[in-house]
Chain A
Amino acid sequence: MTGQTPALRLEGIVKTFPGVRALDGVSFSVMPGEVHALMGENGAGKSTLMKVLGGIYQPDAGQILIEEAPTVMASPLEAKAKGVVFIHQELSLADELSVAENVYLGELPRKSFGRVDWDRLYADTERILDRLKVGFTPQTLVGDLSIANKQMVEIARALTVDAKAVIFDEPTASLTDAEKDVLFEVIADLKARNVGIIYISHRMEEIFRITDRVSVLRDGQHTGTAITADTNEEAVTQMMIGRKLDLSRNVAHHELGDVALEVRNLSCGHLYKDVSFKIRRGEVVGFYGLVGAGRTEIAETLFGLRDPSAGQILLDGQALRITSPTDAIERGISLVPEDRKGQGLVLGMNCRDNMTLPQVDDLKAGPFVAEGAEVAIFDQYRDRLDIRTPGWKQLVGNLSGGNQQKIVIGKWLSMHPNVLIVDEPTRGIDVGSKSEIHNLIRDLAAQGYAVIVISSEMPEVLHVADRIYALFQGRITREFTSEDVTEDSLVRAISGLADNGGAQVA
């Protein structure tokens, strides 16, 4: 490939956010007609890199070159105009419009008097859809399409311009095998037309099936590039996780109690299927999987936010139906949600009021709220969780992420739960507070709480959990204990790859 001009090249890209060096001198190139895989764990910097490339972020240092010409990407629109096209994982479509209108959104062909040239629009779209071999017409309403077909519409959009480089971000996340084959044909077709392709995915089998080279990012740094044919899954995994973990594995040093919560064959539509697990008092159980594997949806079901379509939930050995969050709270199930600011806290309210939110009804003195009792509860948990705030009057929105998370945890502890579910406990929290939250979770287990930790960060689950359930596409693929877990087998389990050793869960 030497001697050829790269379709796209990144040179020494640096991007820092307050407190984090998200990209630390990343260089990377794609040749015309090459499929180049970009891999890395969550938080390794892949999405930041793509946002720099797409003009959403401006790099602090380094440059982007298209066919060796330095370029500034000021906006997503400019990136597209320059031939760099994204196929996003999250769909960005207008459901009430037709396929053709979505494909040419913002660029509808024009006739006199500002009229849409429907004939040309449909003909042009038809030609693109033919290349994609899809089973719908340009006139179909996008809202009537399946997720996979919507993805095809996104891809069709990329084919409307003369693309030099196309970036696929986890394109197969919601596709069936047959649909994947079609997608790979499309990629092969683009490749034959000398388009450079960046392919982001966690799935090893796909990487080895369709890519020419693999580049790996870790902690914002480019750890290496290999020719796919000359490497293997082990070597790539090694590049991805390479660090020596300074986090010790945790094993419960205390006696475990009875089974607090058991779930048998729980299903919810196509979100997750046939999920079974149990958790004892005093135990921390980790749920590890990629975004969209069904982790959060399981938690939401346990908290009464979703109705399961099948299966049983047993609390202390008794089967029950949880119909609402109020119901869940009464039975001692608490959820610290994924989106702390959006779902966990009322940012414009003060610390005390946030802390006592679920129990104000019980803290009444006559018709009024018993403020004294509220303050007493706040003080108790401030001391117990070491929440640093000038006082209870402080607005929660002004606290640091770590202290905000402690308020949410304190809120539930004050309700005396049996089972505490923590979804992404340290998302957006700085490194120092992270370990504090981890220790807090361990302490809670030692005090006899049953804790479920949902996380997409491997070091985190390895560090805090006594047992880990690996999830892949809505199913629990494997169960690990802290003795038999290895990083490699964990990566395989959440990518849907087989592995020998470890207990296989049906």
Chain B
Amino acid sequence: MQAGTLSTFLKRGAIWGFILFELIFFSVAGAFLSLSDKAFMDLDNMLRLFKQSAPIGIIAMGMTIIMINGNIDLSVGATFALCAIVLLDSLTWPIFAGLGDWVIPVSWALALLTGVLLGAINGLIVWKTGVDAFIVTLGSMLGYRGLVFMYNGEQPTSHLNWTLVDFAETQFLGLHTATWFLLAVTLVIWFLMTRTIHGRNAYAIGDNREAAVNAGIRVGPHMMINFMIIGFLAALSAVVFYSESGSVNPNDGELYELWIITAVVLGGTKLTGGAGSVISTFGGVLAIQLLRKGLGHIGADTSTVNLVIGLILIAVLYLDRQLNRKGAEELKI
């Protein structure tokens, strides 16, 4: 076996091994501890798990591109909330009153466009100013959230469109609408990152930016496109979720960015860029959702869930570092 193959295998396969471990653990532990008499791996329960993974999962696919590219986006939670408001509010605008249910695609388009626009703003600033994406999106996170509050104060924005609710609650081949969206997005982004020139260049930029520049890759435009993609996905996530719930609080989507980054990192994407996989991110999203659900199933409360996920994240990164060490030749700190 070639050197490095083992660690690569461990890294790639680790997230699925972890998911398997979770399933077994919660099934067994659930049999003793759970108050409900349903098994943890009940089909309905698993289908719901996929559906609940969708809002974070859809955005996590965008975050994977952004992080492979060597950037980060902290503004996704605020973008998510703002796009939700655009969706629900525009459904009630008088100019669209004559459209009947045709207002739905119009509102969807408006919300998605808003997401792309907000992402483009982030990307343009990162590209043209050279300021670190962490700082830029920290700023826009606050800024976009400010816009959310300006829209309707502390009040929730609500509008239930029953056609939309029906659409969102449909189960096609057993899977919910939101799950289909998550699967479709995963497939498209996987294709983008593994099969297209844009995707491969994004890897190269994150891996060795100087080499990419020297090879004539236009780093700025690639980064901007990726920010537009994540903006679009944050909007798509909002559109899918709020079509069903019909009401957005100004605080919605807070801390989403952290859950998303956690999922992406658990999936093995490097914080420094250049390495990562969309499929593993999908695993990371499922692993977190399983953990939340599983701990709930055996009677733990939310604070315990957060504590456990935090500890697991640090343990995973420590393991990753151990597997990647080059041994005695590394400089000590």
Cβ 8 A contact of A94, one of B2, B5, B212, B327: B212
Is B203 touching A115 in the complex (CB atoms < 8 A)?
Answer: no
Chain A residues with Cβ below 8 Å from B214 are 76-77, 92
Is B217 touching A144 in the complex (CB atoms < 8 A)?
Answer: no
A429 at the interface (CB under 8 A from B): no
Those of A76-101 within 8 Å (CB) of chain B = 76-77, 92-97, 101
Those of B176-213 within 8 Å (CB) of chain A = 195-198, 200-201, 203-204, 207-208, 210-212
Cβ 8 A contact of B204, one of A105, A144, A300: A105
Nearest-neighbour CB distance to chain A for B279, whole angstroms, equals: 16
B328 at the interface (CB under 8 A from A): yes
A106 at the interface (CB under 8 A from B): yes
Chain A residues with Cβ below 8 Å from B204 are 94, 97, 101, 105-106
Q: Known: A143-B4, A269-B328, A307-B328. Contact between A93 and B208, CB under 8 A?
A: yes
A357 at the interface (CB under 8 A from B): no
State the interface size on chain B (CB cutoff 8 A): 28
B136 at the interface (CB under 8 A from A): no
Cβ 8 A contact of B208, one of A94, A114, A304: A94
B95 at the interface (CB under 8 A from A): no
Nearest-neighbour CB distance to chain A for B326, whole angstroms, equals: 9
Those of B259-274 within 8 Å (CB) of chain A = 274
CA distance A94 to B211 in the complex (A): 7
Q: Closest residue of chain A to B192, judged by CB?
A: A114
Cβ 8 A contact of B203, one of A92, A97, A110, A114: A97
Q: Known: A96-B275, A115-B195. Contact between A101 and B200, CB under 8 A?
A: yes
CA distance A309 to B217 in the complex (A): 42
Is A114 touching B216 in the complex (CB atoms < 8 A)?
Answer: no
B interface footprint on A269-282 (CB within 8 Å = 1, 0 otherwise): 11100000000000
Cβ 8 A contact of B207, one of A95, A114, A271, A300: A95
Chain B residues with Cβ below 8 Å from A271 are 329
Is A144 touching B328 in the complex (CB atoms < 8 A)?
Answer: no
Is A113 touching B212 in the complex (CB atoms < 8 A)?
Answer: no
Is A114 touching B211 in the complex (CB atoms < 8 A)?
Answer: no
B325 at the interface (CB under 8 A from A): no
CA distance A306 to B4 in the complex (A): 22
CA distance A75 to B41 in the complex (A): 60
Task: Give the secondary structure class of A's interface.
Answer: loop
A108 at the interface (CB under 8 A from B): yes
CA distance A97 to B204 in the complex (A): 7
Cβ 8 A contact of A116, one of B2, B200, B275, B331: B200
Interface-central residue, B3, B200, B331, by most chain A CB under 10 Å: B200
A329 at the interface (CB under 8 A from B): no
Is A268 touching B329 in the complex (CB atoms < 8 A)?
Answer: yes
Nearest-neighbour CB distance to chain A for B85, whole angstroms, equals: 33
Is B198 touching A114 in the complex (CB atoms < 8 A)?
Answer: yes
Is B207 touching A105 in the complex (CB atoms < 8 A)?
Answer: no
Nearest-neighbour CB distance to chain B for A459, whole angstroms, equals: 31
Interface-central residue, B5, B201, B204, by most chain A CB under 10 Å: B204
Cβ 8 A contact of A144, one of B2, B200, B211, B332: B2
CA distance A300 to B328 in the complex (A): 13
A175 at the interface (CB under 8 A from B): no
Is A105 touching B195 in the complex (CB atoms < 8 A)?
Answer: no
B215 at the interface (CB under 8 A from A): yes
Q: Closest residue of chain B to A86, judged by CB?
A: B214
Is B196 touching A268 in the complex (CB atoms < 8 A)?
Answer: no
A107 at the interface (CB under 8 A from B): yes
CA distance A306 to B327 in the complex (A): 11
Is A97 touching B329 in the complex (CB atoms < 8 A)?
Answer: no
Nearest-neighbour CB distance to chain B for A4, whole angstroms, equals: 32
A314 at the interface (CB under 8 A from B): no
Is B274 touching A95 in the complex (CB atoms < 8 A)?
Answer: yes
CA distance A457 to B97 in the complex (A): 82
Is B212 touching A106 in the complex (CB atoms < 8 A)?
Answer: yes
Nearest-neighbour CB distance to chain B for A103, whole angstroms, equals: 10
Those of A102-137 within 8 Å (CB) of chain B = 105-108, 110, 113-116, 118
Those of A293-321 within 8 Å (CB) of chain B = 300, 304-307, 309
Chain A residues with Cβ below 8 Å from B274 are 94-96
Is B203 touching A268 in the complex (CB atoms < 8 A)?
Answer: no
Q: Known: A77-B216, A305-B332. Contact between A95 and B196, CB under 8 A?
A: no
Nearest-neighbour CB distance to chain B for A262, whole angstroms, equals: 22
Chain B residues with Cβ below 8 Å from A143 are 4
Is B208 touching A106 in the complex (CB atoms < 8 A)?
Answer: no
CA distance A306 to B329 in the complex (A): 7
Is B207 touching A97 in the complex (CB atoms < 8 A)?
Answer: yes
Chain B residues with Cβ below 8 Å from A94 are 203-204, 207-208, 211-212, 274
Chain B residues with Cβ below 8 Å from A435 are none
CA distance A304 to B195 in the complex (A): 47
Nearest-neighbour CB distance to chain A for B209, whole angstroms, equals: 9
A interface footprint on B291-333 (CB within 8 Å = 1, 0 otherwise): 0000000000000000000000000000000000001110110
Is B208 touching A92 in the complex (CB atoms < 8 A)?
Answer: yes
A324 at the interface (CB under 8 A from B): yes
Nearest-neighbour CB distance to chain A for B133, whole angstroms, equals: 19
Is A115 touching B207 in the complex (CB atoms < 8 A)?
Answer: no
Nearest-neighbour CB distance to chain A for B280, whole angstroms, equals: 14
Nearest-neighbour CB distance to chain A for B113, whole angstroms, equals: 22
CA distance A96 to B209 in the complex (A): 13
Nearest-neighbour CB distance to chain B for A74, whole angstroms, equals: 12
Given contacts A97-B203, A116-B197, 11 further A-B contacts (CB under 8 A): A92-B208, A95-B274, A97-B207, A101-B203, A105-B212, A105-B215, A107-B216, A108-B197, A115-B197, A304-B332, A306-B331
The 10 closest A-B pairs by CB, nearest first: A106-B215, A94-B207, A105-B215, A92-B211, A106-B216, A77-B216, A96-B275, A94-B208, A269-B329, A106-B217
A-B contact pairs, 28 of them (CB 8 A): A77-B215, A92-B211, A92-B214, A94-B204, A94-B211, A95-B274, A96-B207, A96-B274, A97-B204, A105-B204, A105-B211, A105-B215, A106-B216, A106-B217, A107-B216, A108-B201, A115-B196, A115-B197, A116-B195, A116-B196, A116-B197, A143-B4, A144-B2, A271-B329, A305-B331, A306-B329, A306-B332, A307-B332
B residues lining the A interface (CB < 8 Å): 2-5, 195-198, 200-201, 203-204, 207-208, 210-212, 214-217, 274-275, 327-329, 331-332
